[in-house]
Amino acid sequence: MNKADTFEFYRRLAETNPAPVTELEYGNHFQLLVAVVLSAQATDVGVNKATRTLFEIVKTPEQMVALGEEGLKAHIKTIGLFNSKAKNVIALSEALIERHGSEVPQDRDALTALPGVGRKTANVVLNAAFGAETFAVDTHIFRVGNRTGLAPGRTVIDVERALDKGTPGPFRVHGHHWLILHGRYICKARRPECWRCPVADLCRFKPKPDGPDAPIPKAAKKHRANKPAPARKKRAPAKTAAPVASG
């Protein structure tokens, strides 16, 4: 997508939602970090249901540590992978107390050094909590970037770099939220709702379904599984035969 179309793409998304925010519910930076960690492979709706009562009693890392792993599991047992997530949340809470004075650090490297926090989680927190110009590429943004031609890439980091390079200045802070909401509610994986899409004429995806009852184009079926390429596994070094002693 060229620069003019990219600018217009964002301008229209901004026009429909001038001040987008994350759909996760939280009251402070610590709760935001916990909510984002819990949201991995889970829906924001499901996380919000689990954290509403949790966040009434836990507002600080100290309170989370006091609640303990088993106590936390009781609140988040409806969320996928809750056992490992509970372990990570308790560990990251301890790390925040020990390393950062109980404050969420405003630094990607410091965030990703916390248990259970990857690059995507760090980017979400930096953007939502501190207004940083970051692009947290999840499956929705990966799909939108590739399907529309806005930021094509084979891997998550490819798409993130393309967005970082190509997103115009006025749209850099909210770009992440516009794209994730667009992918979640309009540019859906199974049936993109192109007939009500504000950027359909700029999008490179063809053919476009022209109504809710229209057959799903083959191209849409192809893009259903538009997921990042798996990381390549490192090959183990080839074993060499031990030299045979002569004598």
Query: Active-site residue among 44, 138, 206, 208?
Result: 138
Q: How far is residue 160's CA from residue 156's CA, in Å, rounded to a whole number?
A: 6
Specify whether the CB–CB gap between 104 and 125 falls below 8 A.
Answer: yes
Token digits of residue 35: 């909510």
Q: What totals of helices (H) and strands (E) does the chain contain, helices first?
A: 11, 0
Specify whether the CB–CB gap between 2 and 11 falls below 8 A.
Answer: no
Residues with Cβ within 8 Å of 119's Cβ and at least 6 positions away in sequence, in order, are: 108, 112, 157
Does 120 qualify as catalytic in the annotation? Answer: yes
Specify whether the CB–CB gap between 220 and 192 falls below 8 A.
Answer: yes
∠ at Cα 157 (102, 142), nearest 5°? 100
Query: Active-site residue among 109, 120, 206, 227?
Result: 120
Does 138 qualify as catalytic in the annotation? Answer: yes
Residues in the chain: 247
Give 201's DSSP letter: T
* 3-state secondary structure (DSSP) of residue 189: coil
Token digits of residue 194: 């192109």
Q: How far is CA 107 from CA 119, 171, 181, 221, in A?
A: 11, 21, 25, 39
Give the residue numbers annotated as catalytic, written as ranges: 120, 138
